[in-house]
Structure formats: C-alpha cells, structure tokens
Amino acid sequence: MSDIRNNIVKLPFWNMLTDKQRDYAIQSSSIRKVQKGALVYSRDCACVGLVYVIKGDLRIYSMSPEGREITLFHVEAGEPCVLSASCVAGQLDFDTHMTAECDSELLIINAPAFARLTDENIHARCFLYEQAAASFSAVMKTIESILFMRFDARLASFLIEEYESRGQRELHITQSGIAERINSAREVVARMLKQFSENALVKTSRGSITILDPEGLRAITEK
C-alpha cells in the first residue's frame, strides 16, 4: 500500500481531491509489473483505467487490418496515460494498443474508480480531457511527420529529441528500435545513419548511437 501511496500523489489532480476521494483512489489502485512485450491494453480487451508509469516505457500503436503497426507515441516513467480508460470517456475512442517496451512497473487506478473520480471531481475530469487532448496532439504529430517530413529530418529530429530528453550523447538503441519508433524499415534507418556517420554527425556501434554534432542534426530538421 505504501508503494501505491508514494506514487499516486504524483498525479496532477491528486492535491485537488477530497480526503475521502484520496482514500477511495488508493483503495482502488494497484501496482502492476509487466514484462517487455506484454500487452497492457487493447480496445478489444477490458477497460483498464488510468495508467501511471512508475518505471519503464509503454508503446502506443495502431495496427492496420494487414497487421502493419504504426507507433503513435510512447509513455515513459513519470507520465500518465488515459487511453487505457476509454470506457470512462467516449471521446477516447482510439483503436490503439499499449505494450511494454521494456520490463515496466505501473500504477493503475481501476476503470470504475477513475470514472467515479471524474464524475465527482472537476479537476480529475479536466485532467482526463487534458490528457486526451495531449494524446491526440501526439498522434497528429506522428501522422504529420510521416506524411510531410523528409526521412533525414525525421531521423535527425528523433535523435535530437532522445539526446535532449536523456541528457547524454550515447543513445542505447538499435537500428530496429529506431525504425519502430519512427515508423520506417531498419534498412532505411541503417542507410541514413551511415550517411550521418560519414558526415560526422553520429557514430554508430552495436546497440548504440553517439551524437557527435547536435547542431548539425538540428540544421537538417530546419531545412
């Protein structure tokens, strides 16, 4: 119970709940550990509720009838996601799947409890819609990058975002992992990374990429 209490207080609307609502939220929450590759949520499955990532990384993706996957966005440690609570708000009618990119630990407020909190508390309800809007914005950003950005700019943008978010030049990620993140093929990523390497923008090694020239990569995204 202490693990739940220590993490649930990190939710943005927590301080605006009444004492009774806080107790109810804690009693209705659980800590779930999931292994890499595990399915956390799908619209075809039961509604999960509000998910908060304690540690790990969740990939949100959509799948075509032919089985092709498109990564929409990721939810990382310290971030909540409401797409797994689609039954709480009809506006969250996204045909999405959520899987663990690595071994992860999640705090989950079950769907009935989260629905009750959003009904009773305006701050919880605002949080729900703000998170839904943020998810939609992330999806639109992904679609725009696929449709309108040159591939070199997409790859450079991804590398810069990873470099800035992690605060280190060496990124521990494979070419297949990058391809999945930016919705491309590994062979295409490999060719472009080779070009970046020849231009002294990055250095590639097995399982990692080192950013050598961040400003050079930024210049590619601005062309």
What is the CATH classification number for the domain harbouring 175?
1.10.10.10
Per-residue pLDDT in tens (0 to 9) along the chain, 223 residues:
779 999 999 999 999 999 999 999 999 999 999 999 999 998 777 789 999 999 999 999 998 777 788 999 999 999 999 988 877 766 666 678 999 999 999 999 999 999 999 999 999 999 999 999 998 899 999 999 999 999 999 999 999 999 998 889 999 999 999 999 999 999 999 999 999 999 999 999 999 999 999 999 999 998 7
Six-digit token string for 132:
């839904």
Q: Distance (Å, rounded) from C-alpha 117 to C-alpha 55?
A: 24
pTM comes to 0.84
Residue 36 lies in a domain: yes
One domain, residues 127 and 65: yes
One domain, residues 20 and 93: yes
One domain, residues 11 and 96: yes
Residue 101 lies in a domain: yes
One domain, residues 58 and 166: no
One domain, residues 32 and 104: yes
Q: Distance (Å, rounded) from C-alpha 77 to C-alpha 56?
A: 6
Instruction: Supply the CATH number for residue 48's domain.
Output: 2.60.120.10
Q: Distance (Å, rounded) from C-alpha 182 to C-alpha 157?
A: 10
One domain, residues 162 and 92: no
Residue 140 lies in a domain: no
Angle at alpha carbon of residue 69, lines to 201 and 158, rounded to 5°: 20
What residues contact 164, with CB distance under 8 A and at least 6 apart? none
One domain, residues 6 and 112: yes
The predicted structure's pLDDT at residue 68 = 84
CA-nearest of 13, 46, 12, 6 to 29 is 6
The per-residue DSSP string of 103-168 comes to: SEEEEEEEHHHHHHHHHH-HHHHHHHHHHHHHHHHHHHHHHHHHHHS-HHHHHHHHHHHHHHHHT-
Range of the structural domain that residue 200 is part of: 149-221
CA-nearest of 90, 88, 91, 87 to 116 is 88
The predicted structure's pLDDT at residue 84 = 87
Residue 143 lies in a domain: no
Q: Single out the residue in 103, 133, 163 at which a domain terminates.
A: 133
Number of domain units in the chain: 2
One domain, residues 127 and 183: no
The predicted structure's pLDDT at residue 55 = 97
One domain, residues 15 and 124: yes
